Amino acid sequence: MWDLTRYKNKKKFHATKPFEPRIKLMAWIFVIFGLLIIFKLFDFQVLKFDFYYALASDQHEIYQKLFPERGSIYLKDFVISELTQEDSIYPLAINKDYNLVYAQPKYLGKDPQEIVDLILPILQPDEERQEELREELLSKLGKEDDPYEPLMHKVEDSQAVRIKELEIKGIRSTKETFRYYPEKNIGSNVLGFVGFDAEGFKRGLYGIEGYFDEQLGGKQGEFISEKDI
C-alpha cells in the first residue's frame, strides 16, 4: 500500500531545501548593509565630527572680517584760522574709492583679442605703456580655466561704467579703496606713503604715515551672525 503521508513530507522537504541558501544570503546582505550604516554613522558623527560641524556652521553662520578705514591726515592753518575765526583745514592724505576691473576667463563670452580692443581705449593707458598693457591683458584673458584675473586697479567710475555698458560676459568691476594725496607730491617727504609690507598687508611707510601707522590704521574687527535656511 502506498504511504501518501510519507510522499507529501518528502515532497515538502525537497521543495523547501533549495530556498535555504537564498535565505542565508539575504540575511548576510542585511547584516552587511546594517554594519555599513553603523560604520557610516560612526564616521560622520565621531571621526569626522569637526569637519561636518564646520561645514554646517558655514551654512547657517556668517563670519566676516571687518577692515577699518584708514584715518585721514589734515593740515591746519592757524594764521588764517585766527583771521577768519574759523578752522582752516586742508586734507593732505585721504581715502578715495576706485574700481578694480577684473576678468573671469573661464566664462568669457568673446574672443580675448576682441575684448582687449574694446576695453583698452576706455582704460586709456599711457602711450608708452599701451602695447605692454595690451600684451598683459591678452595673457590674463587667455587663461581659459582661470576663474579670476585682476586686469587694472585705480579705474575711475566713469571708465568702469563704460566698461559695464559693453556687457561683456566675464568682465566685471568692484570697488577698492586707495590712499589719495590731493596735493600730489607736496610734503611727501614728511607725509610718507602707504604701501604693502612683506606679508602683503597695507602699512604706512616712512613719515607721518609710518610713525602713526597704528593710530591711522585702526584695529581689525569681526562680524558674526546667523542666517536662516
Please state, rounded to an integer, the average pLDDT across all residues of the chain.
79
Question: Which stretch, 9-18, 105-114, 165-174, has highest mean pLDDT?
Answer: 165-174
Cβ within 8 Å of residue 138, ≥6 positions away: 112, 113, 116
Does residue 101 contact residue 162 with C-beta atoms inside 8 Å? no
CA–CA gap between residue 73 and residue 93 (Å, rounded): 5
Per-residue model confidence (pLDDT) at position 228: 59
Does residue 160 contact residue 99 with C-beta atoms inside 8 Å? yes
E-state strands within 49-155: 61-66, 73-76, 89-103, 149-155
Domain ranges for the chain? 4-47, 73-226
Confidence of residue 16 (pLDDT cuts 50, 70, 90): low
Query: What nine digits make up the cell of 200?
Result: 602683503
Does residue 152 contact residue 144 with C-beta atoms inside 8 Å? no
- What pairs with residue 196 in β-bridges? 202
What count of Cα atoms within 13 Å lies in the side-chain half-sphere of residue 228? 0
Q: How far is CA 69 from CA 34, 209, 225, in A?
A: 58, 14, 22
Whether the pLDDT of residue 165 is over 90: the answer is yes
Per-residue model confidence (pLDDT) at position 166: 92
Per-residue model confidence (pLDDT) at position 215: 86
Confidence of residue 163 (pLDDT cuts 50, 70, 90): very high
Per-residue model confidence (pLDDT) at position 159: 93
Q: Which fold has domain 73-226?
A: Penicillin-binding protein 2a (Domain 2) (3.90.1310)
Helix or strand (DSSP H, E) at 160:
helix 157-165
Q: How far is CA 72 from CA 91, 99, 212, in A?
A: 7, 20, 11
Structure confidence by residue, pLDDT tens digits, 192-220: 888 877 776 778 888 888 888 888 887 76
